Amino acid sequence: MASLKEVRNRIVSVNSTQQITKAMKMVSAAKLRRATDAITQMRPYAKKLAEMIATVSAKTEAGQDNAYTKVRPISKVLVIVVTSDRGLCGAFNANIGKATIALIQEKYAALHAAGQVEVLTLGKKGAEYLGRRGYKLNTAHTEIFSGLNFGKVRVVGDEILADFAAGKYDVVDLIFNEFKNVATQIIRTEQLLPLQENADTATASSVDYIFEPSEEQIINELIPKSVKLSIFRSLLESNASEHGARMTAMDKATDNAGELIKALKLEYNRSRQAAITKEILEIVGGAEALSA
């Protein structure tokens, strides 16, 4: 059994940890509100732009001949993985890492074995997780969530678009956590390039557009913007999901610390009672010995 001093020190230590987890929960709650506001405002715009791009690309010759819509035989793949820069958010980053590995093993196993699958990580934790497991890292953009803005995404997007247009990659996939609520994040996988029409973005197929100055010029500007916006949206989704996951994790950690403190206090009281009983018995034994 631990001594009274050891138990007392553990109670103090757990109390300190509980105060830290409480503070982290409050900080994440404040950041979560701002993050959810940002993604709520972004979603309608991103959805409408995706619908427009899908419709225009499918219905126009300029869209079908664009460098970012052409489908090529797949010989090299880039997977963009969005994680956080910091930990203490439960299984948030591990789940994305596992989902990325599952995607590569199921969809691109042969190419991965041949060394033709690269991973571009947005967030420090993704680079650490996949790098330790031997996956080929293209670039690790760490600290991207520090002062997150579209300017940072524009630089990353330009690199990806240039590499795809140059034929360095034939497919670019994007995997990230989509924010649903504080306790729930949904892992999403999207094909970023080549741009393709799907059921979610083809709802505006009946709309007829008038192009000014020209189809080609407008499409050449809209498609790169749409790709960059998709990356930016995934970062905003992941940012909100991270704060939600950290808030939930810190709430559970605070509760667990409370339970541990209760158990330690019970152990402390039992040890103290045992020590007092032992002292009484020693006194009684000594008194009996003297009176004998």
Does residue 265 register a pLDDT over 50? yes
Predicted confidence at residue 206, as pLDDT, reads 57
Residue 128 CB neighbour total at 10 angstroms: 17
Nearest alpha-carbon partner for 8 in 287, 269, 288: 269
Kindly list the catalytic residues. 89
Mind listing the pLDDT tens digit for each residue in 120-174?
999 999 999 999 998 999 877 888 888 888 998 999 999 999 999 999 999 999 9
* Mean pLDDT comparison of 181-185, 192-196, 219-223, 235-239, highest-scoring range: 235-239
How far from the centroid of its chain's Cα atoms is residue 161's Cα? 23
Residue 23 CB neighbour total at 10 angstroms: 12
Summarize the confidence of residues 95-103 as an average pLDDT.
Answer: 95
Strand order in the sheet with 184-193: 137-141, 117-122, 77-82, 171-181, 184-193
DSSP state of 86: S
- Residue tagged 């042969």 (tokens): 110
- Residue tagged 């993604």 (tokens): 39
Does residue 22 register a pLDDT over 70? yes
* Phi, psi at 106, each rounded to 5°: -85, -40
Does residue 292 register a pLDDT over 70? no
Q: Which residue has the higher pLDDT, 241 or 138?
A: 241
Predicted confidence at residue 220, as pLDDT, reads 81
* Phi, psi at 186, each rounded to 5°: -110, 125
Summarize the confidence of residues 227-244 as an average pLDDT.
Answer: 94
* 253 membership: H or E segment, kind and range: helix 215-291
- In sequence order, which residues have a C-beta less than 8 Å from that of residue 201 and are 6 or more positions away? 47, 50, 51, 53, 54
Q: Which residue has the higher pLDDT, 120 or 223?
A: 120
Mind listing the pLDDT tens digit for each residue in 43-89?
898 888 887 787 777 666 666 677 888 888 999 999 999 999 998 99
State how beta strands 77-82 and 171-181 pair.
parallel
Percent of the chain with pLDDT over 70: 92
Predicted confidence at residue 146, as pLDDT, reads 86
CATH class of residue range 42-248: alpha beta
- So where are the chain's domains? 42-248
Check: CB of residue 219 under 8 Å from CB of residue 62: yes
DSSP state of 69: T
* 43 membership: H or E segment, kind and range: helix 4-59
Lowest mean pLDDT among 14-23, 107-116, 221-230: 221-230
Q: How far, in Å, are 7, 9, 45, 95, 194 from residue 48 at the CA level?
A: 60, 58, 5, 30, 19
